[in-house]
Amino acid sequence: PDRDALIARLPKAELHLHIEGSLEPEMLFALAARNGVEIPFASAEEVRAAYSFSNLQDFLDIYYQGMSVLLHEQDFYDLTWAYLERAKADNVRHVEIFFDPQGHTERGVAFETVLDGIERALKDGEARLGITYRLIMCFLRHLSEEEAFATLEQARPHLDRIHGVGLDSSEVGHPPSKFERVFAKARELGLHVTAHAGEEGPPEYVHEALDLLKVERLDHGNRALEDDALVERLVREGTTFTVCPLSNLRLCVIDRIEDSPVKRMLELGLKATVNADDPSYFGGYINDNYRAVAEGLDLSAEQIVELAENSFTGSFLPPDEQAAHL
């Protein structure tokens, strides 16, 4: 229908994408063979069948296991390049991607191997596909504050290549307050800051992300809607939410796509955006996510355009570059 054509041709930015979550089963197999890594699956179909999750932790266990095939600079290049080609097909003009260095350094892969491969693909994407980028380093929140500080130290020589920090992995039991000092240091170093908050965790975690981490946007943020005063504040402050509809569905954050908070957020005056999170695990790239909510929530053309515009105004691009996309 018309709506799908609009979604296909709308220029958009993707603000919530874990590059390791774009590892398709076919590439998982190819890299396992190339690197001589054993994986407990016999076929790509078998892998896809294993992608059935009842919560965030279920997914994370498989997500960290999938990373085991990523060893060399070229692996990180190939992973990132495949995502960028896919993003290009969806008319994505700007990406702000997350990577999880601790998922690799704890396996003995050097921080620089990861950064070099991802960045080389991003630079090629800018030159050959016209997709601009920002790179956001996430801290794994199930690990300690000390380990996050050590990761920030590893990033220190490369701060001209990393634009921001984020916070991901198991949310409940690992509140933003655990990383208050690490984020203060990251801000002092001139990095942008964002954090996953209110995906499974309570509204209190969203308050902490704002007040203690001083995040510039909220990744997911679904459960902020349970707190009216918080919503009022987020409307007033114009905070961008990076919502991930198919992720929410596949991780049972919502029961049905009709329960996605995207439309309610827009109606409340919140700056919602639509993103894929971990597309190879959740069954869709960015336009699949737009189509799912457009149909499930019966979004108007104006609302679809608003989501795409919010993706640029909520980005870390300077205002003049944001404006060039509107």
85 as an active site residue: the answer is no
Does residue 18 have a known ligand-binding role? yes
Site string for Zn ion, 223-262 (x = CB under 5 A): ----------------------------------------
20 binds Zn ion (CB under 5 A): no
194 binds, among Zn ion, ligand HPA, none (CB under 5 to 8 A by kind): none
The continuous run of DSSP H or E covering 92 comes out as: strand 92-99
Q: How is residue 42 written in tokens? A: 């016999």
C-alpha dihedral, 193 to 281 to 53 to 314, nearest 10°: 30
Strand partners, 242: 219, 273
Q: Are 276 and 57 in contact (CB under 8 A)?
A: no
Nearer to ligand HPA, 63 or 316 (CB): 63
- What 8-state DSSP symbol labels residue 277? B
Distance from C-alpha of 147 to C-alpha of 63, rounded to nearest angstrom: 20
Nearer to ligand HPA, 76 or 322 (CB): 76
Does residue 75 have a known ligand-binding role? no
Q: Which of 24, 278, 285, 297 binds ligand HPA (CB under 6 A)?
A: 278
Q: Which stretch binds Zn ion (CB under 5 A): 71-79, 84-92, 256-264, 270-278?
A: 270-278
What angle do the packed helices 203-211 and 228-237 form, to 10 degrees?
40
Q: Are 151 and 118 in contact (CB under 8 A)?
A: no
From the CB of 325, what's the least distance to ligand HPA, in Å? 25
167 binds ligand HPA (CB under 6 A): no
Does residue 196 have a known ligand-binding role? yes
Nearer to Zn ion, 73 or 247 (CB): 247
- Phi, psi at 87, each rounded to 5°: -65, -40
Among candidate residues 73, 199, 200, 309, the one labeled active-site is 199
- What 8-state DSSP symbol labels residue 93? E
Does residue 278 have a known ligand-binding role? yes
Q: How far, rounded to the nearest angstrom, does the alpha carbon of residue 110 sit from its chain's CA centroid?
A: 22
Residue list, annotated binding site: 16, 18, 196, 277-278
Binding site for Zn ion (CB under 5 A): 277
Residues marked as catalytic:
199
Binding site for ligand HPA (CB under 6 A): 18, 21, 56, 63, 168-169, 196, 199, 247, 277-278
